[in-house]
Chain A
């Protein structure tokens, strides 16, 4: 007598294409958001290079400013600024999903939590502007 087979039926396993992220607008946006981390890293490197130049003296700082004014660095930094804004906005929009705050037993509305984060951003930006630009 033959035994019933215990093998599972042959399943079809669809493979995800390398370009899966082009299939949906939200996926494209997600990949751009992930990519923004590279530009965040670049902005930190740029800041460290500037600090090093300042520490090395006046002429090195001038050299740094000349280098920073070259077209490709300006272009890179414009793209970096766009990605930093994307990174910050998506981060602040995520805040209410991660932080659920209760005040006197009531859940603080998500818009208020995101609004608080944006308000903090504006305050810090205003402080930096006051410190650096208006001096």
Chain B
């Protein structure tokens, strides 16, 4: 195994350049180093001006998402040796505006998340002295998969629908809506459906399926959206057949 591997890192310095350029860095090829370790090595010892986001280094904070050799990946969970002998191309997440180097503008995503009311919505709150809202392990199982999302945005980066139409509310937000819809304590499904039933919501998804393949936590946003479509279609049929009945 070679001692080093080349990182081809996309640089974008709006104060100096009109567009992105590629800069190569030679970093040690260590078996236990992830791409993020390589970037940290560059930052610490070669070029302190390189900008990128990271925090926990253990696949839970969701901040180190980048495009590695064309695929959206968490760079803390993507190891250098898997790309040996290299080079490894590191670019910012696709489908987002790039602020600097590998840092993207996540404002659009942050605006969309709260739109789906990602909290327990109750018609009438139970008095506190009556205790907690209880839930069985089976009821927990219904939504726990969708609660694993770490907001890393790899699914948005993988989704060509979002790339072509940034108004699309996107995989993670819809999966998060499903996480609460399927929670036995929640009563907000109708509120969320009104938001997500429009063309930029669930019907914007054409089921490319890349979001599910990109997800590092096994959330399966594509599956969540298809389930949501079925629920929405059944509700529409029900409201048509029983216009005065319960929705």
Contacts and interface: CB of A to CB of B under 8 A. Distances in A.
B222 A97 contact: yes
Given A30-B206, A105-B138, A12 B222 contact: no
A94 B160 CA distance: 19
Interface in B123-175: 138, 160, 163-164
B209 A12 contact: no
B206 A34 contact: yes
A9 B14 contact: yes
A21 B160 contact: yes
Interface in A44-58: none
Interface string A1-44: 00000001111111010001101101100100010000000000
A98 B209 contact: no
Interface residues of A, number: 22
A100 interface: yes
A99 interface: yes
B213 interface: yes
A98 B229 contact: yes
B12 interface: yes
A87 to B, nearest CB: 13
Nearest to A30: B208
Interface residues of B, number: 29
Nearest to A15: B163
Given A20-B163, A94-B226, A99-B230, A12 B208 contact: no
B26 interface: no
SS class, residues of chain A in contact with chain B: loop
Interface in B207-224: 207-210, 213, 220, 222-223
A27 B98 contact: no
Nearest to B164: A16
B97 A12 contact: yes
A99 B223 CA distance: 9
B76 interface: no
Contact of B160 (A10, A27, A99): A27
Contact of B97 (A11, A24, A105): A11
B138 A100 contact: no
Given A98-B229, A99-B230, A20 B160 contact: yes
Contacts of B100: 9
A12 B20 contact: yes
Contacts of A98: 223, 226-227, 229-230
B160 A26 contact: no
B105 interface: yes
B233 to A, nearest CB: 9
B46 interface: no
Contacts of A97: 207, 220, 222-223, 226-227
13 contacts: A9-B14, A9-B99, A9-B100, A11-B98, A11-B105, A12-B98, A14-B20, A14-B98, A24-B70, A94-B207, A97-B207, A97-B227, A99-B227
Ranked nearest first, the 4 interchain pairs of A and B with the lowest CB-CB distance are A11-B97, A98-B226, A97-B223, A12-B98
